[in-house]
Amino acid sequence: MEKRVLITGGTGFIGHVLCHELLKRGYRLTVLSRQAADNVRAVCGQVEVIADLESLRSHPGYDAVINLAGEGIADKRWSDQRKKALRDSRISLTATLTEVITSWEKPPEVMISGSAVGFYGDQGSTRVTEETAPHDEFTHRLCKDWEDAALALETLQVRVCLSRTGVVAGAGGGFLQRMILPFKLGLGGRLGDGQQYMPWIHRSDVVAALIWMLETPEASGAYNVVSPNPVTNREFTRCLATTLKRPAIFPAPAPVLNLALGEMSRLLLTGQQAVPERLTNGGFVFQYPRLEKALEDVVN
- Residue 169 — pLDDT band, cuts 50, 70, 90? very high
- Residue 214 — pLDDT band, cuts 50, 70, 90? very high
- Centroid of chain to Cα 293: 20
- Residue 36 — pLDDT band, cuts 50, 70, 90? very high
Stretch 172-197: mean pLDDT, rounded?
87
**Residue percentage of the chain with pLDDT more than 90:** 81
Query: In this predicted structure, which of 56-65, 94-103, 174-183 has the lowest mean pLDDT?
Result: 174-183
Answer yes or no: is pLDDT of 173 > 90: no
Instruction: Identify whether the C-beta of residue 130 lies closer than 8 Å to the C-beta of residue 85.
Output: no
Instruction: Identify whether the C-beta of residue 122 lies closer than 8 Å to the C-beta of residue 137.
Output: yes
Answer yes or no: is pLDDT of 43 > 80: yes
Q: What is the pTM of this model?
A: 0.95
Query: What integer pLDDT is reported at residue 174 of this predicted model?
Result: 82
Tell whether the torsion through CA atoms of 76, 79, 83 and 85 is positive or negative. negative
- Residue 176 — pLDDT band, cuts 50, 70, 90? confident
What rounded mean pLDDT belongs to the chain? 94
List, for residues 92-151, the tens digit of each pLDDT value.
999 999 999 999 999 999 999 999 999 999 999 999 999 999 999 999 999 999 999 999
